[in-house]
């Protein structure tokens, strides 16, 4: 019987080239899972921005590698474990949008999940978490996923007291533009650029639940699917409001506090 090839994940760390010139060396600390610089025999933070990629090679070598996770370090600590890197953020917000055709309309449902890392040590993380948005948009003009990011970030901006510090925005689309978004060279939707304290992080929903970013983005994906399954959106008109703009025709904000949601 032919064996199925084992899918092996690989990591890559992109760093500022000046590290090679100004430091004596670079090391991996297996105990802390940090990437550290070495200068005059001492541990030294790396210079400049670093980016961690977790990917899987394809069985067909002509195809590009399957990206599972891409994130920038939020501070001067660099990790080769994606979960440790994420837990260095003050806030993690996963946002996923699913779009379906219903008769002659498109319905896009955006789900957002907010996780706050309180502490993590010895392999155990203590976090607070909540679903902060379940929004329905009809007939979106443009990219529904990016509209979802924009709407969630706008809502967060209205209550800055709840989201102070570094925010990692976990999404599963538009990876080719993430660097431009994070550099504020390109708006994420319309003329809206990422706020200064927000960094976009990429996650694939097929990366495996041991990856926190995958678990969070898949949870949002499943929340949206649950809404499609449980509600007859064509007949359910309660709280469906006209938008008053040209970006989408109607919207609805679902009351997540009084809904039975799947556990995380």
CA of 95: how far to CAs of 11, 31, 45, 63, 145, in Å?
Answer: 24, 32, 31, 27, 8
Q: Which residue has better confidence, 95 or 208?
A: 95
Asked if pLDDT for residue 125 goes beyond 50, the answer is yes
- pTM to 2 decimal places: 0.92
Q: What pLDDT does 121 receive? A: 67
Three-state DSSP class for residue 261: coil
Q: What pLDDT does 9 receive? A: 84
Asked if pLDDT for residue 56 goes beyond 60, the answer is yes
Structural contact between residues 200 and 145, judged by C-beta atoms closer than 8 angstroms: no
What is the average per-residue pLDDT within 222-249?
89
Q: How many other β-carbons are positioned within 10 Å of the β-carbon of residue 216? A: 26
**R_g of the chain, CA atoms, integer Å:** 20
Identify the band that residue 4 occupies on the pLDDT scale cut at 50, 70 and 90: very low
Q: What pLDDT does 243 receive? A: 92
14-34 pLDDT, tens digit per residue, is 999 998 889 999 999 888 889
């Amino acid at each position: 019987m032919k064996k199925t090839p084992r899918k092996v994940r690989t990591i890559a760390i992109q760093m500022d080239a000046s590290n090679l010139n100004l430091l004596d060396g670079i090391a991996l600390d297996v105990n802390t899972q940090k990437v550290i610089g070495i200068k005059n025999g001492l541990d030294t933070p790396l210079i400049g921005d670093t980016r961690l990629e977790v990917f899987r090679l394809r069985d067909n070598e002509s195809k590009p590698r399957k990206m599972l996770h891409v994130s920038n370090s939020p501070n001067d600590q660099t990790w080769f474990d994606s979960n440790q890197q994420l837990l260095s953020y003050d806030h993690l917000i996963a946002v996923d949008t699913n779009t379906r055709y219903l008769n002659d309309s498109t319905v896009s449902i955006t789900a957002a999940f907010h996780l706050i890392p309180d502490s993590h040590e010895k392999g155990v993380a203590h976090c607070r978490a909540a679903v902060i948005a379940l929004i329905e948009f009809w007939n979106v003009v443009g990219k529904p996923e990016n509209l979802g990011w924009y709407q969630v970030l706008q809502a967060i901006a209205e209550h800055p007291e709840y989201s102070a510090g570094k925010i990692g925005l976990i999404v599963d689309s538009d990876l080719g533009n993430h660097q431009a978004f994070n550099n504020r060279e390109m708006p994420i939707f319309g003329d809206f650029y990422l706020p200064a304290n927000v960094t976009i992080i990429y996650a694939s929903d097929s990366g495996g639940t041991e990856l926190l970013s995958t678990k969070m983005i898949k949870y949002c994906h499943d929340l949206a699917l649950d809404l499609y399954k449980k509600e007859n959106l064509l007949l359910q008109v309660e709280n469906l409001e006209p938008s008053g703009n040209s970006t989408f025709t109607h919207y609805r904000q679902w009351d997540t506090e009084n809904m039975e949601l799947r556990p995380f």
